[in-house]
Amino acid sequence: MAPRSPNSLAETADGRRQRAQITRRNIVAACIALQNEGLVRPSIQQVAERAGVSMRTFFLHFPEKEQLTQAVLDKLTPDEIEPRPPAPGPDAGVDVRIAKFIEMRAQTLETMTPHRRASNAMIETSTLLQKHRLRVRKVFRETVALWFAAELDQVSAEARQKWLVALATLLDWEMWQSLSTYPSRSIPEAKDCLTLLLQAALRQMAAERS
């Protein structure tokens, strides 16, 4: 048998790497799909079965389950904290900015709901999830600061930090969950409630600086 050429060997190695990447993506997608279906803590066997791989293959790619958790976070994080489209300028008016921000934020919160429930079920014992949550909240505060810079820049530095934390907390998933679930409300109803709360907070911030 004639020896294989270097190009042939390289193509074989590339093919193996590509198949490995596809398998890894399928495992991550399977875990996310199970969470989307309401399975907060899918087992390794359930994930492997959904991905169509053996347990041996699963552990080949993810020797520790924490590694799968990290891969899922890496996949979902851009959807959760990806910089939003540029905020309208301050001249657009606060009501316009509130309406546009709430519309975008509600969509993001609905999308992340299954995964936030899953991470909430594990976060108490997972340092990885705790660090991720802190990072996500830091980036989200920066997003809030972008959209409502005109109002935040009118207060003192100390008050600005206080209000930035307050606004970001108001717009976080826990508030959305409360508004949309207990009692059950439609998404438009929950958006209306969140809009009223944000308007009230910004009015109070303006009153403090006057």
pLDDT per residue of the chain (210 residues) written in tens, 0 to 9: 556 566 554 555 567 788 889 999 999 999 989 988 888 889 999 999 999 999 999 999 999 888 998 898 888 776 555 546 666 776 788 999 999 999 999 998 998 888 888 888 889 988 989 998 998 899 899 999 999 999 999 999 999 999 999 999 999 999 999 999 988 899 999 999 999 999 999 999 999 876
How far is CA 18 from each of CA 13, 21, 56, 180, rounded to the nearest angstrom? 9, 5, 19, 42
Task: Supply the pTM of this predicted model.
Answer: 0.77
CB atoms within 10 A of CB 194: 22
pLDDT of res. 83: 46
| CA nearest neighbour of 117 among 36, 43, 18 | 36
CB atoms within 10 A of CB 26: 17
Instruction: Tell me the H-state helices in 37-182.
Output: 44-51, 55-61, 65-81, 94-122, 127-147, 149-152, 157-170, 173-181
Rounded to whole angstroms, the Cα distance separating 161 from 1 reads 72
Rounded to whole angstroms, the Cα distance separating 192 from 159 reads 27
CB-based contact 153:209 (threshold 8 Å): no
| C-alpha angle 162-122-129 in degrees, rounded to nearest 5 | 50
Rounded to whole angstroms, the Cα distance separating 144 from 165 reads 9
DSSP string computed for 120-138: HHHGGG-HHHHHHHHHHHH
How far is CA 43 from each of CA 46, 70, 169, rounded to the nearest angstrom? 5, 16, 32
